[in-house]
């Protein structure tokens, strides 16, 4: 099964609960008027597109209806699809221009951070890259064990230390290993805490200092993993993390388990951080680089 088929199946809940209704809405209205726009607005808010983003979408659609004199519901729907695609922007690739490139992965516990790391590693290994993982979430023994199981499955080397050890020391060892083993990519798992932001910020700053000192010219990515099923709460989480870290991209997990797929639009619009990977299942190849085109197509097809 292609990833697009998986994506379509994975977005079934969002599609049937909300975007299916959007399709029906355009079929039901003979003429394009304010009533149509009002109903559309309600549906988008219900899909967790977010209030601000929905307002913006409706305003852009209203302008296009006026400028292009759209009177046909099908044409108006096509205009909506174009606006939605434009809003997400094209999926940005990871910057892996140096050897090794460094990917720092952050996010609260329970969002699927560790499994996402393994799945990204699997994706990179499948495309011919050598990957080293660093288990710098040393606060939970389970996190290290879990990462080991996934690393074995993905075929990546794991650098780890005992529970409770200094995360920055693990990162130092992992950087040395990545250099000596001539790895293409080093992916670092970090502790998932948001409630104690001071500690988290200090820890990330320390890890970043180690990377900056040991690999001063490395291409860097900081990916924030978010659980799509939490809807607007994920947007709030992203805002919190954005204050503490230079986030370069988002990984959205569990899109197959939610009717809140509209969150993709509000996150991109409100935070201006590109979605780089999306996950639509449990299997190791169920996380793939994000394509705005495919995403919107899967919602409306």
The confidence score (pLDDT) of residue 257 equals: 75
Res 17 pLDDT > 80: no
Residues 138, 144 contacting (CB under 8 angstroms)? yes
CA nearest neighbour of 279 among 117, 105, 137: 117
Number of neighbouring beta carbons within 10 Å of residue 206:
14
Per the listing, tokens 């939490």 go with: 230
Q: What's the rounded Cα separation, in Å, for the pair 225 and 105?
A: 7
Tell me the C-alpha distance between 228 and 249, whole Å: 15
Is the pTM for the entire model greater than 0.75? yes
Please check the confidence at residue 258 and state whether its pLDDT lies above 80: no
3-state secondary structure of 223: strand
* 279 beta partners: 287
The predicted structure's pLDDT at residue 128: 95
Give the pLDDT band (50/70/90) at residue 63.
very high
């Amino acid at each position: 099964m292609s990833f697009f088929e998986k994506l379509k199946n994975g977005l079934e809940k969002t599609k049937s609960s909300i975007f299916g209704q959007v399709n029906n809405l355009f079929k039901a209205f003979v003429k394009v008027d304010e009533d149509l726009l009002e109903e559309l607005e309600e549906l988008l808010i219900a899909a967790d597109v977010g209030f601000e983003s929905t307002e913006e979408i409706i305003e852009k659609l209203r302008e296009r209806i006026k400028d292009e004199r759209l009177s046909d519901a099908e044409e108006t729907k096509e205009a909506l699809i174009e606006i939605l695609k434009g809003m997400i922007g094209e999926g940005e690739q990871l910057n892996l221009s140096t050897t090794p490139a460094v990917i720092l992965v952050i996010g609260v516990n329970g969002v699927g951070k560790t499994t996402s790391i393994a799945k990204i590693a699997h994706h990179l290994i499948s495309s011919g890259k050598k990957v080293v993982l660093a288990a710098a979430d040393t606060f939970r023994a389970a996190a290290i064990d879990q990462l080991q199981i996934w690393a074995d499955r993905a075929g990546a080397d794991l650098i780890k230390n005992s529970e409770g050890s200094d995360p920055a020391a693990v990162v130092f060892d992992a950087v040395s290993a990545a250099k000596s083993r001539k790895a293409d990519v080093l992916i670092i798992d970090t502790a998932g805490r948001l409630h104690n932001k001071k500690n988290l910020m200090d820890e990330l700053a320390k890890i970043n200092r180690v990377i900056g000192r040991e690999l001063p010219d490395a291409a860097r990515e900081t990916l924030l993993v978010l659980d799509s099923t939490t809807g607007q709460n994920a947007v709030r989480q992203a805002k919190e993390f954005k204050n503490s870290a230079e986030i370069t991209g988002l990984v959205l997990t569990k899109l197959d388990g939610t009717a809140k797929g509209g969150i993709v639009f509000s996150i991109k619009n409100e935070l201006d951080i590109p979605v780089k990977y999306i996950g639509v299942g449990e299997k190791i190849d169920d996380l793939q680089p994000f394509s705005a085109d495919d995403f919107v197509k899967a919602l409306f097809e």
